[in-house]
């Protein structure tokens, strides 16, 4: 049985778009779920626009997303001699020809009838000048080229609507169309999974494949991603670069889950892990309609994955997030406190910065600055109750149940509900009114730090 080989072939002319990331994910899932290979090719033939920085950003983005590739990334530009070799081979075998038409002649033809493809007068010429020439494909002029697409179905393109494309320019450089075909063949690619904006290119590329007598790969052209308004995804919709989603604090596992569901489905399953995705993913599950980016759904998926991650995995993700955003790294004390409170922190968190907001109490140092809203709960009476609570928990076993029992006893003695104790306690421990449970904070902070923070506030009572 032939081994499945897929590839992701981005152009290094900018950041890795979320649509490109999804294409990479689909190729990765299809190959990995079938014991195949997932290859990476950098299509850097556009030397004016390709940059090393963009290539580095693509590699970083794929690594962050958790997509590993087999072997070293292939540079398309470095294979230009091989591409030219194939063009000359086609020239020798009569499936391509020398074209001496100038740029002005071609422009004049197209201006005269823009609807008709350029027909070179040199296609069947035998008396050839000694002058610079391009090599063009001698494409079929009648019939049609049929793309047997796994998503779009049978796509038919009339051959008389396609011109004899240039394979090798007069300066000896290969064109993108030729390079893609040669690289896919030489890399042993069996399945080409890419955006449906490449569908017209595919008809042209198939003609090169057929002219060389090479086997056609299986094609699957996936619909593009649109914004929530149904229009083509752009900056006006918010984040569109993969790096922006990293900065927004969505864990890679959540992004893999969410991106997999953008245009592909497995029944009604919305939430799944990598093992399930690899097992379930198939081309038959890809729809033809454009997918829509939905940030509310992404947050739901993100919260699910944060809740399922091991505590140490979340802590590692937090540290990666801080590094990604240029924030200071966590100290040993902060890591210890956050880890101790992780069970409570994961419950409501939808994103990593959301979790960090909840973990603020574990990251601040004394003396604590109390926000204005929280400070309203720290009057003389409240501080008096905190003083009573401090005495009550001095010798407690420091379990959550014992701490809650002590607080309830102080509330009862003062003739108030537990909430009247919790509000000033929250302000004293965290300086804010939005926190995890006060008892989760106390257990995470530990006896000494908790008593010190309470003492800071009770000292103000005079």
Q: Which residues are catalytic?
A: 235
Q: How many CA atoms lie within 13 A of 113 on its CB side?
A: 6
CA 136 – CA 133 distance, rounded (Å): 9
What are the E-state strand segments in 110-152? Answer: 134-137, 144-149
Please say whether the beta carbons of 317 and 355 come within 8 A: no
CA 183 – CA 193 distance, rounded (Å): 15
Tokens of 411: 């509330």
Which of 204, 118, 120 is CA-nearest to residue 159? 204
Which of 219, 207, 112 is CA-nearest to residue 165? 207
Q: What are phi and psi of 439, to 5 degrees?
A: -75, -30
Q: What are phi and psi of 314, to 5 degrees?
A: -65, -40
Which single residue is written with the structure tokens 């004390």? Answer: 333
Within 10 A of 122 (CB to CB), how many other CB atoms are there? 17
Which of 322, 462, 280, 301 is CA-nearest to residue 387? 462
Residue 173 carries which DSSP code? P
3-state secondary structure of 103: helix
Tokens of 113: 């009838």
Gyration radius of the chain over CA positions: 31
Please say whether the beta carbons of 233 and 225 come within 8 A: yes
Is 373 flagged in the annotation as binding? no
Q: What are phi and psi of 292, to 5 degrees?
A: -120, 130
Q: Please state whether 251 falls in left (phi above 0), alpha (psi between -120 and 50) or beta.
A: beta
End-to-end CA distance of the chain: 83
Pairing of strands 225-226, 218-222: unpaired
Within 10 A of 137 (CB to CB), how many other CB atoms are there? 23
Please say whether the beta carbons of 438 and 408 come within 8 A: no
Annotated binding site for ATP: 235
């Amino acid at each position: 049985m032939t081994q499945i080989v897929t590839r992701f072939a981005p152009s290094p002319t900018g950041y890795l778009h979320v649509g490109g990331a999804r294409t990479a994910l689909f190729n990765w899932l299809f190959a990995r779920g079938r014991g195949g290979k997932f290859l990476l090719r950098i299509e850097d033939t556009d030397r004016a626009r390709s940059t090393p920085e963009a290539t580095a950003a693509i590699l970083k983005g794929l690594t962050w997303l958790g997509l590993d590739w087999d072997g070293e990334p292939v540079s398309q530009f470095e294979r230009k001699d091989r591409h030219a070799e194939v063009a000359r081979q086609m020239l020798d075998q009569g499936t391509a020809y020398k074209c001496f038409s100038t740029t002005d002649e071609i422009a004049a033809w197209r201006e005269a009838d823009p609807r008709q493809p350029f027909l070179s007068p040199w296609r069947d010429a035998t008396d050839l000048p000694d002058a610079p020439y391009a090599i063009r494909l001698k494409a079929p002029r009648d019939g049609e080229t049929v793309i047997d697409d796994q998503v779009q179905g049978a796509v038919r393109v009339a051959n008389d609507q396609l011109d004899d494309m240039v394979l090798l320019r007069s300066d000896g450089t290969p064109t993108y169309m030729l390079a893609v075909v040669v690289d896919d063949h030489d890399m042993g690619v069996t399945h080409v999974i890419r955006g449906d904006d490449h569908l017209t290119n595919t008809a042209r590329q198939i003609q090169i494949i057929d002219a060389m007598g090479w086997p056609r790969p299986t094609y699957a052209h996936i619909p593009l991603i649109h914004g929530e308004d149904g229009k083509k995804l752009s900056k006006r919709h918010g984040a569109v670069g993969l790096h922006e989603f990293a900065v927004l604090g969505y864990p890679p596992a959540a992004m893999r889950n969410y991106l997999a569901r953008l245009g592909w489905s497995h029944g009604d399953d919305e939430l799944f892990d990598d093992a399930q995705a690899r097992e379930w993913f198939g081309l038959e599950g890809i729809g033809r309609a454009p997918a829509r980016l939905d940030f509310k759904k992404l947050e739901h998926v993100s919260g699910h994955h944060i809740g399922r991650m091991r505590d140490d995995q979340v802590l590692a993700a937090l540290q990666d997030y801080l590094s990604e955003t240029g924030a200071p790294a966590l100290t040993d004390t902060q890591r210890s406190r956050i880890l101790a409170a992780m069970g409570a922190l994961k419950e409501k968190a939808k994103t990593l910065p959301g979790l960090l907001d909840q973990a603020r109490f574990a990251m601040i140092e004394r003396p604590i600055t109390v926000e204005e809203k929280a400070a309203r709960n720290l009057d003389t009476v409240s501080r008096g109750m905190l003083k009573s609570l401090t005495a009550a928990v001095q010798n407690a076993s420091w379990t959550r149940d014992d701490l809650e029992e002590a607080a309830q006893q102080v509330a009862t003695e003062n003739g108030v509900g537990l909430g009247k104790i919790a509000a000033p306690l929250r302000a004293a421990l965290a300086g804010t009114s939005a926190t995890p449970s006060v008892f989760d904070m106390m257990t995470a902070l530990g006896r000494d730090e908790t008593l010190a923070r309470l003492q800071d506030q009770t000292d103000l009572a005079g």
